[in-house]
Structure 1
């Protein structure tokens, strides 16, 4: 069992064989009856005998029914980039899922819209090696920001254009609130912003952390990561204009002149970096497609 575990209010720590589970009390019996500690079985499920819904990140995330009107998404932790071809879903030391659940609950307690986690699982494999997953309640009508933007096309109607502008501003204000609460996002990209109705939500807080006050450097690091994601998906045809980007940035900065100055400087100096990241995206696409996978090593 991982040591020095932060147990959020309303959660319980349970040991089942080689698996440690941090489970929300009001879902504990339901999840244990589902034997979610053997989450690998759900990831390998034959859809003919157990028809889950699948969401896609780095790997498919099965969504399983938990009770009437509710489903749970199982997100397994998998390395990104070239490391994925070598270690895939094995991690060394720590407990990523427990840490993410704890900070997600902290973010929720600040009133910042996000998913509701109900369990984290840490499954020991060999010595300090482990697999992990996080379980969250499914929001069936939510889409990520990429999917949301794709519906507008390159020439949106005036009505749709107003919705797009409103969402850019709302997303900027959401990130402003997130940062002002002291949170740093470990992987801020378009896929990690969901849209439910007309409200944006932040998700996926693996490797995120909280400080009393974030430095401007930390805030710019998050914004530049998001800007790289915007550039990547814009190249792939997602309709994001410079005006959309600046509307987001201006909403984020508000009347803070120091943030506006830092953002302008950061964006002006990051153009050269895009060449490097374009190469990295190409390599990651090859890895993800299997053209440069484990069989080729």
Structure 2
């Protein structure tokens, strides 16, 4: 359906991972062996934070309905920007139209959100999901995707105060609505959320056959194991990427995230925790 990556660490130009790796996100937009669709050409988005003193900004966004491999502006921006935390996403539309407001990532205040997967039979469950969104947040939903609706449902159910709990409650609400309306497996996908300081990445589906998700190995370990790989020298020791599929074929460079797991990347490092396994 889509491919995405999230980066956290020392400030980095997004081109380093979006464009300049052997199996970069732009390369995946043309050929995604692990994706449900091989081609992800229905638009893209880049979202990034900048540091102002000790504070992270509200995220900046650049979106386009052009295929990522075709857009020269994406190449310009990813080489010009430098950021300690950014998201990038290439889209394969599953129903909602190809328009800027349907491209990921989505933003609310200091929060960013992106998703690969879908809420099954969205046309059937959409009304009930949308009505579960807080009336004060409802006008901020600008597009027609299930992903953006899930983001605002999570905000409604406490994402800002408790990201893991907020996502769990929103997914359970979707599953409840789906079951009531006869949708057997309503939730599918991998999700990334950030407040500008921490990334939470979730791999979960109702049927426990989720879209793929990986995170990079510790950068110091990679640099020691592959001293002749020049592209690794651009990364600081805190550098981590979370990806739909690996950006290279370096052995041991990427760790697959198990089903029903959340990956948390913050100042303490990278760790995995169980998510919705009951």
Could you say which structure has the larger radius of gyration? 1
More strand by share: 2
Higher relative contact order (CA 8 A, sep 6+): 2
TM-score relative to the length of structure 1: 0.25
